[in-house]
Amino acid sequence: MPYVDPERRREYHREYNRTWNPERQRELRREYDKRRKDTEARRRSHAADRQRRHIRQRVAVLERYGGGCAFCGTSQFEHLTIDHTNGDGDAHRAEFRPRYRNIYDFLYRTEFRPDLYRILCWNCHMAMTRYGVMPDGEELHDMTYWREFGALRRAPNQKG
C-alpha cells in the first residue's frame, strides 16, 4: 500500500472505494462470528472485557462518592461497598435490575446523588445493616455482649 507518494495513495483509495461492498463485509463478519461463537477463546475474551468494564465503573463511582468509608475512612478498594442511606436497597435493586448490570453500572450512568448513596467499608456496612450499630456514634460490642444477647430468651408473654 503506497503511503509515501500522495498521488499514488489517492489512486489506491479511489480503487479501494470502487471495490468496497459493505454488505459483503457484513456477511463476512457474520460468518466469522458464527465460526467463533461459543468458543472458549471468545468466552474468555468477553469475561475479561466484562471484568475490566466493571473495575473501571467501580473505580469511577468510588472516586465520585469520596473514595473512602464514610465512617472509618478506609480506602482499601476491595473492602468498599455502596450503601443506600435511606435503607431501600432491595427495592432499588429490583427497580434498576432490568436496565443496569449492577449498582456500580447504575451509579456510573446516572447523576451524582450523595443524599441517597454513600461509600462504606464492608465492616461498617455490616455492623450497621446486620446489628444496627452506627460505627460513627456507638461503641462496638465485644463477643461477650453478643454471646449474652444470643443466649437471651423471649419472655413468655412476648409475641413474635
Identify whether 157 is part of a domain: no
19 shares its domain with 47: no
Q: Are residues 61 and 115 in the same domain?
A: yes
Task: Give the closest residue to 103 by CA, choosing from 121, 87, 79, 83.
Answer: 83
SS (H, E, C) 74-97: CCCHHHEEEEECCCCHHHHHHHHC
**47 & 83 share domain:** yes
pLDDT digits (tens, 9 = 90+) for 65-124: 998 998 888 889 999 999 988 887 788 888 877 788 888 989 999 888 888 899 999 988
Residues 110 and 33 in one domain: no
Comparing CA positions, the residue from 147, 121, 124 lying closest to residue 66 is 121
pTM of the model: 0.60
Tell me the per-residue pLDDT of 11-30, one tens digit each, with 9 for 90 and over: 888 888 888 888 988 999 88
User: Is 120 a member of any domain?
Assistant: yes
Give 141's pLDDT tier (boundaries 50, 70, 90). low
Q: Could you tell me if 50 and 31 lie in one domain?
A: no
> Which residues span the domain enclosing 29?
1-37
- Regarding whether 64 and 137 lie in a shared domain, the answer is yes
Percent of the chain clearing pLDDT 90 (strictly above): 17
Residue 87 near residue 125 (C-beta atoms within 8 A): no
User: How many distinct structural domains can be found in the chain?
Assistant: 2
Mark whether 78 and 105 lie in a shared domain: yes
Shared-domain flag, residues 134 and 73: yes
Inside any domain, residue 76: yes
